[in-house]
Amino acid sequence: MDITSYLSRKKDSVDKALEKLMPPPKTFPSSVHEAMRYSLFAGGKRVRPILAMAAAEALGAKSAGLLPLAGTLELIHTYSLIHDDLPAMDNDDFRRGRPTCHKVYGEAIAILAGDGLLNMAFEVLSDPRRLESVPANRLIAIIKEISTASGVFGMVGGQVVDMESEGKDIDFPTLEYIHTHKTGALIRASVRVGALYARAGKRHFTALTRYGEMVGLAFQIADDILDITGKQEEIGKDVGSDIKKGKRTFPSFYGLEESRRRAVEVVDKAITALKDFDRKADPLRELAKYIINRGH
Amino acid sequence: MDITSYLSRKKDSVDKALEKLMPPPKTFPSSVHEAMRYSLFAGGKRVRPILAMAAAEALGAKSAGLLPLAGTLELIHTYSLIHDDLPAMDNDDFRRGRPTCHKVYGEAIAILAGDGLLNMAFEVLSDPRRLESVPANRLIAIIKEISTASGVFGMVGGQVVDMESEGKDIDFPTLEYIHTHKTGALIRASVRVGALYARAGKRHFTALTRYGEMVGLAFQIADDILDITGKQEEIGKDVGSDIKKGKRTFPSFYGLEESRRRAVEVVDKAITALKDFDRKADPLRELAKYIINRGH
């Protein structure tokens, strides 16, 4: 299969779904609506919604009905980027090659745009008009999955420890905590949301969870490597920004070569987790490989 | 009935429920868990959870099973206070007589504590272990109610317009927008959550919605009056802070006496909305009166 064209088709359908989810740009009060859209439509690759759709397809489900639901993963991801970039947090001026939300709209509107997107995710997830094909009890399980990944036991916890570790000589388990929570939690949740949507049995659900965990880890190692070796155009921010901030990364523990070797190993584990799946899981397999070749 | 002892009993049960909802204080990473608890247990009167319980009781339902769910209204309320107090927003150093969250824990942790509480609300609302007596489809309706009140069509929108109106000579409809969104939306939602929990029929649901809207308005007028006439101990922040910030308020349009008269009129409307309810709605009636006599 051609993963590039698969990703491009899926990205288009996610972008269209997100356009439908969001209120029109001129909605009152327009500043916050513009700010939400500015960050949401900033050229993200939609990795998380695509993982959810590919997981559902691996189980034989059609993924079209999943689209609004998969879109909420991108709303959550975007909210976290806006808040993480704030001056009081990581203080990043650029994201995907464009000024960050607070640089354009100011801090107050950026905080509120993040809050707006986070709430919007749950407004969509509880809107029966958008999700009529999903029974209420399954929707509740999906809301549980997403809110837990997004909250203090997921991304919020990861961001706290990431910030508190800056400039400190942290140990490897602390780096692992940051990775599994700040990035890993929502990636794992994305795969599991697709699995829940497609009514995965216990065995498949466990296998997809393992796949999601390995992909999340590979994603983070690749990200750490890109921060050192990537071109600015590719990563959309300054090269070496982790080092400048005194952040420990995977390569700072294991060196570049060993980090690359581990990334490949982790992708192999992700693919091995899918051994009981047939060819319908090929997009998931190709996605795992794509992640370490491309970053995000 | 004695509203003071009713409120005191209800507040105790809400506080106990919130203690059970929240992870233990030493949970890792402790900074954000401490910050969430610092603001959540800062002496709030729990008006929103109590409104939800009183609405459920007015319909003959027992409110004990509603407690975790009612508690999420306080999580949402607290998240909004933490974010609204931030330097980039209203820049308030004191709240309920204590330093605000960011003064104690720093801006970054305050932003994340707010995010953590908002996510926690939805983690609780989707946790079947906590809410086993509520069927999934009703839970979805309740999540819709709360997320909409909390997001860009509710509190977030109200805060945006409130901030953008500072120092400007806004018209009365703009002040009404701020009131109905920033404070009114969650108060109305609180009453409706109680009604949804108790399976209100259409007529009762409409009446309780009207009650919630009037109580929200009365609450805001009383708040505006208190900002001028209250003692610092009562309101927990500087007297006259609205005026200092160049914020237009109800009394700035109508004067103090007319504002007082309107507050009483709005409370009467709230009580009139309950005309088809029996004595089980007395706590709601007394709550409406209490709000303009006491502030919040």
| Chain A residues closer than 8 Å to B29 by CB | 157, 160-161, 164
User: How much of chain B exceeds pLDDT 90, in percent?
Assistant: 85
The predicted model gives A21-47 an average pLDDT of 96
State how many domains chain B has: 1
Tokens 């692992």, located at residue: A176
How far apart CA A64 and CA B163 sit, in angstroms, is: 40
Residue B153 — very low, low, confident or very high, per pLDDT cuts 50/70/90? very high
Tell me the per-residue pLDDT of A177-187, one tens digit each, with 9 for 90 and over.
999 999 999 99
| Chain B residues closer than 8 Å to A165 by CB | none
pLDDT: is A229 or A268 the higher one? Answer: A268
DSSP B122-140: HHHHT-TTT-TTS-HHHHH
B260 pLDDT more than 70: yes
DSSP B24-59: PTTPSSHHHHHHHHHHHTS----HHHHHHHHHHHHT
Q: Quick check: helix, strand or coil at residue B229? A: helix
| Chain A residues closer than 8 Å to B180 by CB | none
The pLDDT score that the predictor gives to residue A242 is 77
How far apart CA B50 and CA B212 sit, in angstroms, is: 12
The pLDDT score that the predictor gives to residue B198 is 97
Residue B257 — very low, low, confident or very high, per pLDDT cuts 50/70/90? very high
The pLDDT score that the predictor gives to residue B131 is 86
The pLDDT score that the predictor gives to residue A230 is 78
| Chain A residues closer than 8 Å to B86 by CB | 108, 111
Tell me the per-residue pLDDT of A208-236, one tens digit each, with 9 for 90 and over.
999 999 999 999 999 999 988 876 666 56
- The C-alpha torsion from A40 through A44 and A45 to A50, rounded to 10°, is -20
Instruction: Tell me the residue range of the domain where A207 lies.
Output: 3-294
A295 pLDDT more than 50: no
ipTM (interface pTM): 0.96
Q: What are phi and psi of A251, to 5 degrees?
A: -65, -25
Which chain A residue has the Cα nearest residue B22? A152
- CA–centroid distance for B137 within its chain: 24
Least Cα separation, residue A283 to chain B (angstroms)? 30
With an 8 Å Cβ cutoff, is B176 touching chain A? no
The pLDDT score that the predictor gives to residue A238 is 64
Residue B238 — very low, low, confident or very high, per pLDDT cuts 50/70/90? low
B152:A36 CB<8 A: yes
A156:B112 CB<8 A: yes
The predicted model gives A101-120 an average pLDDT of 98
Mean pLDDT for chain B overall: 94
pLDDT: is B284 or B236 the higher one? Answer: B284
Least Cα separation, residue A272 to chain B (angstroms)? 32
Residue B232 — very low, low, confident or very high, per pLDDT cuts 50/70/90? low
Q: Dihedral of CA B187/B140/A154/A284: which sign?
A: negative
B264 pLDDT more than 80: yes
A147:B88 CB<8 A: no
Residue B281 — very low, low, confident or very high, per pLDDT cuts 50/70/90? very high
Pick from A200, A121, A127: which is nearest to B121 by CA? Answer: A121
CATH code of the domain covering residue B233: 1.10.600.10
